[in-house]
């Protein structure tokens, strides 16, 4: 079988698999519910800065720069550098404040075995946060990139002005203060700046879901007996606000079960005994009696009951019982590259990644070129496309998916692109594209399908 036939067969299998799953689990924020990312990032930025300027007054001058604060960047907390990685975890671009770090310096910090010993500091980096590396994994974190850039810019210019080396301990302090400001705004639903602004006008931050999506959820549940479960890391109060605005007051009608405060990726990683579920009798629990110990989730329970915490193994057991099967097919849909894509893949679920970056006009050009290369199995002369795409790219970091090596005229995967290739079965722009994909017969037909290893939206 040729490589192309193999890819096409895989895609037909995937489409069939998706159309026949027993269970679909959805992440909420930036997955089944779409956000206005810029408004949300601005609000988060304001929240974080509100606290930070009390500790670092010079950050008053800081501005949120959308073109710089991109998803997938990695912060080196030891050196205050902002990094972009390729699929081999090599640093291909780095910024110290507003200055780009030279290739020589990057090599001496991260790659040069003579200087750093035999192991790269990024050797164990897998996309999760560690003591040294912090990932801008979702649109909730990306605005922090601007703060970090402006902080380092200040430290850099002060070190030049005073003729002293940069004091890197200040950077650790910044990281600590950022986590304090996040806790301040996101842990308290009643007084936190984020939640109060959100509640005042949800329409500024999130979109209502389409009727097509709602109808589809109803259809797969009634006709195919598919179970639909919401599994979100958000707390119950916020979940209620978001779902009520986006789906309407009767949002419960679209789900067989709602799980809040799931603490993904641990939800998928922990063993069956380590993270039990708690039953909440209301989205706004206050009394002790609102929390009830329970052994597992229930499906289709009363409108007020939701579940908190838990782990995937309990859910799978419950569903196996329900379907009276030893094996059930479970598909998880989410936008967090680690918590919603890598973690569920590790427990062998089918995964759908929601990646809004694929609708960026620059990305579409690059992806089309990628598809063409594969479908024709020839080396297409893509220079024109590459030039056009890089010419149009108006942000400093370039494509989310690819790095173009000008010397070799090659396209290399970014770190996140390779994570997606290895862990996501399907990649789409949003849930509406996923509904479109569900109904598209062309994915079942060898003659109409143009192959790509991952389905990149693009209808």
Chain length of the chain = 459
Among residues 29 and 237, whose Cβ is nearest to Mg ion?
29
SS3 for 405? Answer: strand
Rounded-to-integer distance, Cα 266 and Cα 272, Å = 11
Q: Is 141 a residue that touches Mg ion (CB under 5 A)?
A: no
Interface stretch with Mg ion, choices 90-98, 333-341, 342-350, 356-364 (CB under 5 A) = 333-341
State the alpha helices, DSSP H only, in 377-414: 383-392
| Of residues 192-211, those binding Mg ion (CB under 5 A) | none
Rounded-to-integer distance, Cα 127 and Cα 74, Å = 9
CB of 250 to Mg ion, least distance (A): 23
Q: Is 237 a residue that touches Mg ion (CB under 5 A)?
A: no
CB of 33 to Mg ion, least distance (A): 9
Site string for Mg ion, 378-407 (x = CB under 5 A): ------------------------------
Among residues 11 and 29, whose Cβ is nearest to Mg ion?
29
Interface stretch with Mg ion, choices 29-37, 126-134, 220-228, 293-301 (CB under 5 A) = 29-37
Q: Is 44 a residue that touches Mg ion (CB under 5 A)?
A: no
**Count of residues that interact with Mg ion, criterion CB under 5 A:** 5
Q: What are φ and ψ of residue 230, in 5° steps?
A: -95, 125
Does the N-terminal peptide bond of residue 302 adopt cis geometry, omega within 30 degrees of 0? no
Q: Among all residues, whose Cβ is closest to Mg ion?
A: 29
Among residues 234 and 382, whose Cβ is nearest to Mg ion?
234
Among residues 217 and 386, whose Cβ is nearest to Mg ion?
217
Query: In this structure, are residues 399 and 362 in contact, taking their beta carbons and an 8 Å threshold?
Result: yes
CA angle 133, 139, 142 (to 5 degrees): 45
Q: Is 335 a residue that touches Mg ion (CB under 5 A)?
A: yes
CA 306 to chain centre: 24
Rounded-to-integer distance, Cα 364 and Cα 90, Å = 25
Q: Is 29 a residue that touches Mg ion (CB under 5 A)?
A: yes
Among residues 335 and 362, whose Cβ is nearest to Mg ion?
335
Q: Is 343 a residue that touches Mg ion (CB under 5 A)?
A: no
- Interface pick for Mg ion out of 27, 141, 256, 363 (rule CB under 5 A): 27
- Distances in Å between the Cα of 123 and the Cα atoms of 92, 95, 114, 353, 401 are 15, 20, 16, 25, 21
CB of 336 to Mg ion, least distance (A): 5
Interface stretch with Mg ion, choices 26-34, 201-209, 216-224, 263-271 (CB under 5 A) = 26-34
Q: Is 261 a residue that touches Mg ion (CB under 5 A)?
A: no
Query: In this structure, are residues 127 and 419 in contact, taking their beta carbons and an 8 Å threshold?
Result: yes
Q: Is 30 a residue that touches Mg ion (CB under 5 A)?
A: yes
CB of 373 to Mg ion, least distance (A): 31
Query: In this structure, are residues 185 and 224 in contact, taking their beta carbons and an 8 Å threshold?
Result: no
Among residues 101 and 431, whose Cβ is nearest to Mg ion?
431
Block residue for tokens 């601007």: 146
CB of 140 to Mg ion, least distance (A): 8
Interface stretch with Mg ion, choices 8-16, 82-90, 203-211, 328-336 (CB under 5 A) = 328-336
Q: Which residues of 13-50 are buried (b: 16+ CB within 10 A; e: fewer)?
A: ebbeebeebbbbbbbbbbbbbbbebeebbbbbbebbbe
- Distances in Å between the Cα of 341 and the Cα atoms of 59, 127, 450 are 35, 11, 24
Beta strand extents in 274-316 (DSSP E only): 277-280, 291-293, 306-309
CB of 74 to Mg ion, least distance (A): 19
Rounded-to-integer distance, Cα 138 and Cα 353, Å = 12
CB of 374 to Mg ion, least distance (A): 29
Site residues, Mg ion (CB under 5 A): 27, 29-31, 335
């Amino acid at each position: 079988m040729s490589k192309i036939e193999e890819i096409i067969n895989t895609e037909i299998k995937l489409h069939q698999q998706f159309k026949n799953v027993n269970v679909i689990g959805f992440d909420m924020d930036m997955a089944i519910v779409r956000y206005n990312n810029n408004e949300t990032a601005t609000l988060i930025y304001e929240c974080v800065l509100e606290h930070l300027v009390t500790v670092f007054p010079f950050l008053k001058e800081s501005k949120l720069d959308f073109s710089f604060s991109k998803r997938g960047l990695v912060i080196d907390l030891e050196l205050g550098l902002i990094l972009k990685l390729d699929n081999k975890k090599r640093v291909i671009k780095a910024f110290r404040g507003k200055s780009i770090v030279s290739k020589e310096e990057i090599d001496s910090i991260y790659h040069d075995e003579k200087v750093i010993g035999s192991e790269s500091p990024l050797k164990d980096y897998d996309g999760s946060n560690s003591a040294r590396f912090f990932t801008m994994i979702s649109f909730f974190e990306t605005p922090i990139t601007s703060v970090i850039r402006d902080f380092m810019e200040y430290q850099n210019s002060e070190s030049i002005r005073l003729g002293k080396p940069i004091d890197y301990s200040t950077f650790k302090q910044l990281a600590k203060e950022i986590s304090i400001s996040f806790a301040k705004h996101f842990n308290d639903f009643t007084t936190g700046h984020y939640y109060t602004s959100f509640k005042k006008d949800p329409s500024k931050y999130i979109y209502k879901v389409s009727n097509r999506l709602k109808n589809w959820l109803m259809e797969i549940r009634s006709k195919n007996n598919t179970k639909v479960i919401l599994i979100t890391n958000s707390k119950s109060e916020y979940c209620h606000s978001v779902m009520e605005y986006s789906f309407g007051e009767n949002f419960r009608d679209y789900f067989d079960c709602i799980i809040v405060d799931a603490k993904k990726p641990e939800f998928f990683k922990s063993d069956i005994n380590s993270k039990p579920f708690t039953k909440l009798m209301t989205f706004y629990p206050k009394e002790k009696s609102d929390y009830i110990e329970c052994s597992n989730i229930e499906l289709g329970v009363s409108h007020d009951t939701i579940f908190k915490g838990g782990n995937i193994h309990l859910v799978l057991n419950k569903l196996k019982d329900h379907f009276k099967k030893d094996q059930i097919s479970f598909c998880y849909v989410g936008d967090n590259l680690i918590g919603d894509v890598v973690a569920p893949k590790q427990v062998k679920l089918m995964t759908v990644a929601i990646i809004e970056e694929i609708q960026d006009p620059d990305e579409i050009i690059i992806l089309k070129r990628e598809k063409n290369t594969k479908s024709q199995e020839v080396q297409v002369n893509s220079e024109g496309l590459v030039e056009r795409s890089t010419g149009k790219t108006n942000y400093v970091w370039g494509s989310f998916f690819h790095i173009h090596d000008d010397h070799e005229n090659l396209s290399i995967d970014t770190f996140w692109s390779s994570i997606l290739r290895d862990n996501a079965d399907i990649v789409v722009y949003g849930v509406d594209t996923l509904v479109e994909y569900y109904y598209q017969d062309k994915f079942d037909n060898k003659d109409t399908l143009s192959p790509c290893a991952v389905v990149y939206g693009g209808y």
